[in-house]
Chain A
Amino acid sequence: MILSKTKITVLIIGFTVVLVVIIKMVLSHLANPIDPVAARAKGSLQAKVKIVEFIDFECPACARGAIQLKEYLSQYPESMHVQVKYYPLMNVHRHALQVAAYAECSARQGKFWPFFDVLMSSQASWSQLINAEGIFDQIAQGAGVNMESLKSCLPREDVSATIMGEKSLGRSLGVESTPSYFINNKMVVGTKSLEEELNKVLPKRTK
């Protein structure tokens, strides 16, 4: 009888492991490839370290990660290629979708990076506001975005479709939290893991 109990135990464990492996294989098979979006990419295309970041512009760790990546990029301009993808957490951050639309409309005018850099460095000042539209307008204006085109772009359905499409892409790749990064296709989540991984793949930094 003990043997039967042992056998059933082994069967249950084996069945569970096989089931999980199959589900993981199916999920990875269903994952979509990451298409590069030039307007939201920076660095050399021949770079040996390619990074795709899925971020919510209102998430504090994403702002820290953006600043961290900017520093790395300034030190390794030839070795890194960074691309930003949208992953707005609407249930957590009230401005998540709106600010992503501002970013996308700025990107369509080729002004993503000047908008993004100021947006992330000033996150603490606008994330607490109930209505941050005024600040977003100011940042966009400062980044040289044409405001008339921006205002007509913001409500467009294809803008929200792009944002939500990238969020779905992230989900299909296993993204659950922000910031999530794919460094040469290896997933890392959070700024601590980002730094650890970058220190592995990039030559040691001089202090």
Chain B
Amino acid sequence: MTAIFFILRIFIGLVFIVSGFEKVISPYQNFLYVIQAYQLFPSWMETWVAMIFPWVELMIGIFTFLGLWLDLSLKGALLFFGCFVVIVGQALLRHLPLDQCGCFGEAIHIPPQTILVFDSFMLLSVFWLMRHFSKAKILSLDRHFNS
């Protein structure tokens, strides 16, 4: 049973790593195009979000995966998944013409409806890990440093 917490933490970390890494190695303009499609941010802010967001995403992934500063990285993951749910949800409610969510760049194509379900599930998973924080810390660097 305890292994589930570990596997879930690694999975959440990998989701962020894959998603963030794909975005940081490709030109930021590609992600900017995705952000523009959601019609949520003012123009001046879109470029900043496109440049900074993937790096934060990647770092949250690495830290969650390694279990370093796990309390903070899980809070970050919770915030991100919460934002994803709101952003994708509002796009669906407004019937914005989105073929795919753009969450993983060109690497993986997922329709917004599917990603909304996925993100909601991930949001609950992160919340569950936070509720059982001591078990989520299994094989983590935090545990190594605190021992």
Contacts and interface: CB of A to CB of B under 8 A. Distances in A.
B99 A27 contact: no
B43 to A, nearest CB: 7
B109 A193 contact: no
A33 to B, nearest CB: 17
Chain B binding surface SS class = helix
A189 B30 contact: yes
A71 B101 CA distance: 31
A176 B28 CA distance: 11
B36 interface: yes
Contact of B99 (A92, A189, A196): A92
Nearest to B66: A12
B33 A16 contact: no
A193 to B, nearest CB: 7
Interface in A139-194: 174-177, 180, 187-190, 192-193
Contacts of B58: 16, 20
Interface stretch (A3-11, A34-42, A113-121, A125-133): A3-11
Interface residues of B, number: 28
B145 A176 contact: no
A199 B145 CA distance: 54
Interface centre among A16, A24, A60 (most CB of B within 10 A): A16
Interface centre among B29, B34, B97, B99 (most CB of A within 10 A): B29
Contacts of B62: 12, 16
A189 B32 contact: yes
Contacts of B59: 13, 16
Contact of A9 (B21, B27, B69, B109): B69
A27 to B, nearest CB: 7
Chain A binding surface SS class = helix
B145 A4 contact: yes
Interface string B23-48: 01111011011101100000100000
B115 to A, nearest CB: 17
Say which size band chain A's interface belongs to: 20 to 34
B36 A27 contact: no
A35 B26 CA distance: 22
Nearest to A176: B106
Contact of A1 (B27, B66, B105, B145): B145
A8 B33 CA distance: 35
B68 interface: yes
Interface of B: 21, 24-27, 29-30, 32-34, 36-37, 43, 58-59, 62-63, 66, 68-69, 97, 99, 105-106, 109, 141, 145-146
Give me the 3 closest cross-chain CB pairs, A-B, nearest first.
A189-B33, A176-B106, A174-B27
